[in-house]
């Protein structure tokens, strides 16, 4: 991609109405556009990052048999009435609207009830179970506060997966598989080292649910972590969970964290309330077990920004960066063009700063954009036949000869 053609431009000034680091940087760098508090558009650059994150999640969900689908944003009132979750007392983040004939509708804040209703049509007998489906969907939530940038949106992207089972044992074993898949996801997102699986308050069915919490100063939660950072416990269940884990809660230190995932066993709760059943081998009607598994896609992007960005701007891990290489031409356009072509031909995702602006501006912008490798072609390169390659995260630079450039930059 040629930077001169890019839809967005960077900005030197920080938006005045933002306090969170992730939003400040993402807006300045042109990855997001703020429409109102808690509501952000994703530009082509921002979308590239989101799509990379989604693809990692998709691969790991597919690997455990998840099938992707997409549900709807407009939801029926009766679907949610059947479980007592239509009222604003039961769910305090509802956005609701009406059809022209007055029929009330809900705007999707979640999809558990919606998936249960949908499976009635497809799950009839034990032969149809287990099954696991997931989607990437924009959730709408009327959150009271929205000061954490894209980490808490009123409109945000979630991956939500739902697994349906004939027995509790089957649900339990799948749930454990999902935990392992989640660990892989956070590792691939570059958050593995500081993401903990923690106990959180459960629901009607189990005492605990599980959350995936990433240590992060900008997070809204508090984790209690032991000295060697092997145990972390959620504040809300500190007494219970430390007892369960056999650790003395007084040895744990509070640290800020962000909830990047939440997984839940509903068991037969929804099935009982909604009267959704399957027929067992004997033809007897039985309730269906449900577990649900969320990941905050846009929140994860925000957490990555918060944790990796430095004083100069964004720093993307290679796995989610919109491009792998930022090619900068400093008055050496012909040579840079040739290199741009060869990198692109080699399948190396490259954004090429072909703009006629001064070197200082190019360097500042490329630090702000946070692409992992900066390849600088200047006048000196023409004689030496070498490019200067800077690794954005470590700030290390190296001279790499043109002939070795592709090998050097290959993932
Ligand atoms: P929180 O406690 O942060 O309000 P939640 O428990 O309501 O989140 P879930 O309904 O479990 O969230 O949603 C699954 C995941 O979606 C969460 O683990 C989080 O990563 C993400 N998420 C939830 N609310 C938001 C939001 N307002 N903006 C961005 N991501 C969110
Ligand atoms: Mg939660």
State residue 40 phi and psi, 5-degree precision: -125, 140
The terminus-to-terminus CA distance of the chain in angstroms comes to 19
State pLDDT tens for residues 169-181. Answer: 999 999 999 999 9
Would you state the CATH architecture of domain 325-409?
3-Layer(aba) Sandwich (3.40)
- Average pLDDT (144-160) is 97
Q: Whose CA is nearest to atom 4 of ligand 1?
A: 152
Answer whether the bond into residue 130 is a cis peptide, omega within 30°: yes
Domain residue extents for the chain: 3-308, 325-409
Predicted pLDDT at 229? 81
Report the distance separating Cα 290 and Cα 162, nearest Å: 7
State pLDDT tens for residues 335-394. Answer: 999 999 999 999 999 999 999 999 999 999 999 999 999 999 999 999 999 999 999 999
Q: Which of 212, 214, 225, 211 is nearest to 191 (CA)?
A: 214
Contact 69, 32 (CB under 8 A): no
Ligand lying closest to the C-alpha of residue 143:
1
For ligand 1, which residues put their CB under 6 angstroms from it? 110, 141, 143, 152-153, 156, 158, 259-262, 294, 296, 298-299
State pLDDT tens for residues 181-192. Answer: 999 999 999 999
- Average pLDDT (79-89) is 97
Shortest-distance atom of ligand 1 to CA 152: 28
Predicted pLDDT at 230? 82
Predicted pLDDT at 15? 87
Q: Whose CA is nearest to atom 29 of ligand 1?
A: 152
Ligand lying closest to the C-alpha of residue 221:
1
Q: Whose CA is nearest to atom 7 of ligand 1?
A: 262
State pLDDT tens for residues 295-337. Answer: 999 999 999 999 999 999 999 999 999 999 999 999 989 999 9
Place of tokens 């470590």: 394
Ligand 2 centroid–CA 388 distance in Å is 45
Shortest-distance atom of ligand 1 to CA 295: 15
Q: Which of 40-44, 116-120, 224-228, 350-354 has the lowest mean pLDDT?
A: 224-228
Name the residues around ion ligand 2, CB cutoff 5 A: 262
Predicted pLDDT at 205? 79
Q: How would residue 207 be classed by pLDDT, with cut points 50, 70 and 90?
A: confident
Q: Whose CA is nearest to atom 12 of ligand 1?
A: 262
- CATH 3.30.9.90 fits domain 3-308: no
Place of tokens 């700063």: 353
Q: What percent of the chain has pLDDT over 90?
A: 91
Ligand 2 centroid–CA 264 distance in Å is 9
Q: How would residue 203 be classed by pLDDT, with cut points 50, 70 and 90?
A: low
Shortest-distance atom of ligand 1 to CA 141: 27
Ligand 1 centroid–CA 152 distance in Å is 8
Q: What is the mean pLDDT of the chain?
A: 96
Q: Which long-range contacts link 203-209 to residues 24+ away (Cβ below 8 Å)?
A: 203/264, 203/265, 203/266, 203/269, 204/266, 204/267, 204/269, 205/265, 205/266, 205/267, 205/268, 205/269, 206/265, 206/267, 207/240, 208/237, 208/240, 208/241, 208/244, 209/262, 209/263, 209/264, 209/265
Three-state SS at 9: coil
- Average pLDDT (138-147) is 96
Contact 143, 155 (CB under 8 A): no
Ligand lying closest to the C-alpha of residue 297:
1
Ligand 2 centroid–CA 130 distance in Å is 25
Shortest-distance atom of ligand 1 to CA 153: 28
Ligand 2 centroid–CA 262 distance in Å is 5
State pLDDT tens for residues 3-15. Answer: 999 999 999 988 8
State pLDDT tens for residues 210-260. Answer: 999 999 999 999 999 988 888 889 998 999 888 888 889 899 999 999 999
Q: How would residue 31 be classed by pLDDT, with cut points 50, 70 and 90?
A: very high
Q: Whose CA is nearest to atom 19 of ligand 1?
A: 296
Shortest-distance atom of ligand 1 to CA 261: 18
């Amino acid at each position: 991609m040629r930077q001169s053609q890019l839809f967005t431009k960077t900005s030197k000034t920080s938006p005045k109405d933002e306090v969170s680091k992730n939003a400040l940087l993402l807006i300045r760098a042109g990855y997001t556009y703020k429409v109102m508090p808690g509501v952000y558009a994703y530009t082509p650059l921002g979308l590239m990052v989101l799509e990379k994150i989604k693809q990692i999640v998709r691969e790991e969900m597919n690997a455990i048999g998840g099938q992707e689908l997409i549900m709807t944003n407009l939801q029926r009132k009766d679907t949610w009435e059947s479980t007592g979750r239509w009222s604003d007392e039961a769910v305090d983040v509802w956005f609701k609207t009406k059809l022209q004939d007055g029929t009330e509708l809900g705007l999707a804040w979640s999809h558990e009830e919606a998936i249960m209703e949908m499976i009635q049509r497809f799950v009839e007998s034990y032969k149809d179970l287990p099954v696991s489906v997931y989607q990437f969907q924009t959730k709408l939530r009327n959150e009271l506060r929205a000061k954490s940038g894209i980490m808490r949106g009123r409109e945000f992207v979630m991956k939500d997966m739902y697994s349906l089972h004939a027995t509790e044992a089957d649900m339990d074993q799948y749930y454990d598989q999902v935990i392992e898949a989640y660990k892989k996801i956070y590792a691939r997102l570059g958050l593995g080292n500081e993401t903990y699986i923690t106990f959180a308050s459960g629901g009607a069915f189990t005492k605990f649910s599980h959350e995936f919490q990433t240590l992060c100063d900008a997070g809204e939660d508090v984790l209690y972590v032991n000295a060697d950072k092997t145990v972390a416990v959620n504040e809300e269940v500190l007494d219970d969970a430390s007892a369960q884990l056999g650790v003395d809660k007084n040895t744990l230190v509070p640290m800020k964290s962000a909830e990047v995932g939440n997984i839940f066993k509903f068991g037969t709760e929804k099935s009982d309330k909604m009267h959704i059943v399957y027929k067992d081998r004997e033809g007897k009607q039985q309730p269906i077990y449900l577990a649900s598994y969320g990941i905050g896609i846009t929140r994860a992007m925000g957490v990555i920004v918060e944790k990796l960005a430095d004083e100069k701007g964004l720093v993307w891990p290679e796995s989610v960066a919109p491009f792998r290489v930022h090619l900068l031409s400093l008055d050496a356009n012909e040579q840079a063009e040739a290199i741009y072509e060869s990198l692109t031909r080699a399948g190396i995702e490259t954004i090429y700063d072909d703009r006629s602006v001064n070197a200082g501006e190019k360097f500042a912008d490329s630090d702000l954009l946070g692409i992992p490798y900066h390849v600088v072609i200047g006048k000196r390169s023409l004689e030496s036949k070498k490019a200067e390659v800077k690794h954005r995260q470590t700030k290390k630079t190296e001279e790499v000869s043109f002939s070795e450039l592709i090998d050097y930059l290959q993932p």
